[in-house]
Amino acid sequence: WTGSVCGQPCPEGRFGLNCSQECQCHNNGLCLSTTGQCLCSPGYMGDRCQEECPVGTYGSGCSQTCRCENNSKCSHTSGQCLCEQGFIGEWCDIRLCPEGRYGLQCDRKCPCHSPNTRSCHPMSGECTCQPGWAGLYCNETCTPGFYGKSCSEVCQCQNGADCHSVSGECICAPGFMGPRCSVSCPAGKFGANCSSSCKCQNKAECSPADGSCFCKPDEGTCECAPGFRGTNCQRICSPGYFGHRCSQTCPQCVHSNGPCHHIMGQCDCLPGFRGTLCNEVCPGGRFGKHCAWSCSCTNNGTCNPIDGSCQCYPGWIGSDCSQPCPPGHWGPNCIHTCNCHNGAHCSAYDGECKCSAGWTGLFCTQRCPLGFHGKDCSQTCWCQNGADCDHISGKCSCRSGFMGQNCEQKCPHRSYGYGCRQLCDCLNNSTCDHMTGTCYCSPGWKGVRCDQVGVVVVGNLNSLTSTAMHVDTYQIGAITGIIVLVLLVLLLLVLLIIYKKKQKGKASTMPAVYAPAVRVTADYTTAGACGVSRPYMGDPLRDVLQATAYHGSSISLSSSENPYATIKDPPLLNSKNSECGYMEMKSPRRDSAYAEISNSSPAGMSMKLN
């Protein structure tokens, strides 16, 4: 039994504690789920139902007898007759040709000797003899020592007696009597069946075989009985001779204990042989002296005609070949070891592996191909939606999100996962993915469980009103932050560029003054700076020169003189100083092309031309 409450019987093919053992029944035999004992189907027998019913029997337990005739075969399961060619009928008892004829057209005459013939085959013309007759045309009696149907029965007669070829009744040799001719004739009797009386006189004894008289030694010469010799007839015939006065020569006995019998001349065959010359082996199923014993070998084992020992068919052992090879062994005398795996059964005959359900391959090491299961991988799997099929039972192992015998159904509403055993945690009328459990929120909701109010965006696209779309505020905030950050970076770059341009402008503001052909004739020119505003004083040299010219300084320009003047540290004028600043300008030197402007005291300012 199996199941959570042990209320279910073991599945087919299993038995024992927790159904852990596999049945070993063959040929569709059923096994008891408790003990594993096999209940064979009709036509089979044995512990594992591996044997067919013996010839001539059929049905459940091989208990019924076949009724088929004319050497037709009988089905071991149903008893139905399989007729040979030339016969028809339920029992194959109807000839196609009339008696005495055979051939396809029934146009040939049977060659059999009719009185001794049981039947003539309607197709081949082969003769089937009556009991006691043999030969190709049933015109020969049985070989001495045998009788009955097909001359296969062994006579049990002794002392050289023959037996009736039909009934097997012993025909005693002269001088013997009894059912098996084992008793000598009583005194005064001789001959066949001891039916004749001796006529010897003077108290002489007669031979039980032919009635000849034995004289007493003190009264004359002895007349020895057949097979004996000597003055007193105390010795048997010499080897190789037999009969009256040991005058007959023995035949050439082949397998015998020696020369022929000293009285009758018959060969004394060794165990396992028969025939007049002991040159015939005992027929199948017989052994021993005079082939008198029946063999006990079973399961197609062969019998030694001498001692009756059994040579077992591959897969069987034991004195009578009744024991199958132990599990895991096979072959003659079970000397080979099986190499089958995964609970496979090994044929005791040739070692072939009979795979258990779900396995295939030479040694049953391979699982059934995808899509198949069961015994011999002959059953088709019906699993759907990518489910795995058990290679033994065919049971479907559903993937996440599916259920049903064939995994054809999705998980019911509000469940998901393997076996649909997990419950969805989605809120506000949201749907749940049947495989992963992911929540698909309804419009207006967000979050892992759809438990947060979301943003609904309604727009018009291509003159069509779009559906409301949920926008996650977290995503909007992130995007806005990125945009602001980019703008700040751009603004800083612009300010940096402007600052650099201004610095460059300050560093390069009027480092040199181009004054071509300017000549100052006065040694000093003083430009009053009193009252001049700071912005004016901060103008370039051009304004200073203009201011100097405004005060009447005479300046002449000459192209031969240096057209440049260098200004160093232009003075800063303080409009609050009461004193006036002054600029002193001197004529430039001939060898200098620059005019140097130097800073004077805080009270004034002078410009020198070197």
CA angle 570, 575, 577 (to 5 degrees): 100
Task: Give the tens place of pLDDT for each residue, 89-109.
Answer: 999 989 889 888 998 889 999
pLDDT given at position 359 = 93
Query: Given a cut of 60, is residue 64 above it in pLDDT?
Result: yes
Give 217's pLDDT tier (boundaries 50, 70, 90): very low
DSSP 3: S
Number of H helices, E strands in the chain: 3, 67
Would you tell me how many other CB atoms lie within 10 Å of the CB of residue 61?
13
Q: What whole-number distance in Å separates Cα of residue 474 and Cα of residue 538? A: 58
Task: Give the tens place of pLDDT for each residue, 399-434.
Answer: 999 999 999 999 998 899 998 999 998 998 889 999
- Alpha-carbon distances of 608 from 98, 179, 431, rounded to whole Å: 168, 181, 95
Query: Given a cut of 80, is residue 310 above it in pLDDT?
Result: yes
Query: Given a cut of 50, is residue 300 above it in pLDDT?
Result: yes
Domains identified in the chain and CATH numbers: 424-459 (2.10.25), 511-610 (no CATH)
Query: Given a cut of 60, is residue 603 above it in pLDDT?
Result: no
Strand pairing category for 140-141 and 127-129:
unpaired
Q: Token digits for 31?
A: 């096994």
Give 559's pLDDT tier (boundaries 50, 70, 90): very low
The runs of H, that is alpha helices, within 216-373 are none
- Determine which helix (DSSP H) or strand (DSSP E) holds 536, and give its type and residue range: helix 534-537
pLDDT given at position 134 = 86
The whole-number average pLDDT for the span 469-486 is 72
Rg of the Cα atoms in the chain: 68
H, E, C per residue of 458-527? CCEECCEECCCEEECHHHHHHHHHHHHHHHHHHHHHHHHHHHHHHHHHHHCCCCCEECCCCEECCCCCCC
The whole-number average pLDDT for the span 14-23 is 78
Q: What whole-number distance in Å separates Cα of residue 584 and Cα of residue 575? A: 19
Q: Residue 349 in contact with residue 372, Cβ under 8 Å?
A: no
pLDDT given at position 508 = 53
As a whole number, the mean pLDDT across the chain is 77
Give 49's pLDDT tier (boundaries 50, 70, 90): confident
Query: Given a cut of 80, is residue 549 above it in pLDDT?
Result: no
C-alpha closest to that of 414 among 447, 386, 450, 388 = 450
Q: Which residue type sits at 264?
A: M
Of the listed ranges 57-61, 246-250, 482-486, 577-581, the least confidently predicted one is 577-581
pLDDT given at position 221 = 59
Cα(first)–Cα(last) distance of the chain, in Å? 128
Q: What whole-number distance in Å separates Cα of residue 494 and Cα of residue 174? A: 152
Q: Token digits for 394?
A: 């065919």
Q: Write down the residue that tokens 């926008």 correspond to.
A: 471
Per DSSP, the three-state class of 60 is helix
Cβ within 8 Å of residue 428, ≥6 positions away: 441, 442, 445, 450, 451
Q: Residue 44 in contact with residue 61, Cβ under 8 Å?
A: no
Q: Residue 165 in contact with residue 133, Cβ under 8 Å?
A: yes
Query: Has this prediction a pTM greater than 0.85?
Result: no
Task: Give the tens place of pLDDT for each residue, 104-159.
Answer: 889 999 999 888 998 889 988 889 899 988 888 898 888 877 888 888 888 888 88
Q: Residue 300 in contact with residue 293, Cβ under 8 Å?
A: no
Task: Give the tens place of pLDDT for each residue, 482-525.
Answer: 999 999 999 999 999 988 888 887 655 544 444 444 444 334 33
pLDDT given at position 606 = 36
C-alpha closest to that of 327 among 313, 305, 343 = 343
Q: Write down the residue that tokens 């006691």 correspond to.
A: 132
Task: Give the tens place of pLDDT for each residue, 240-275.
Answer: 888 888 888 888 888 888 888 888 888 888 999 988
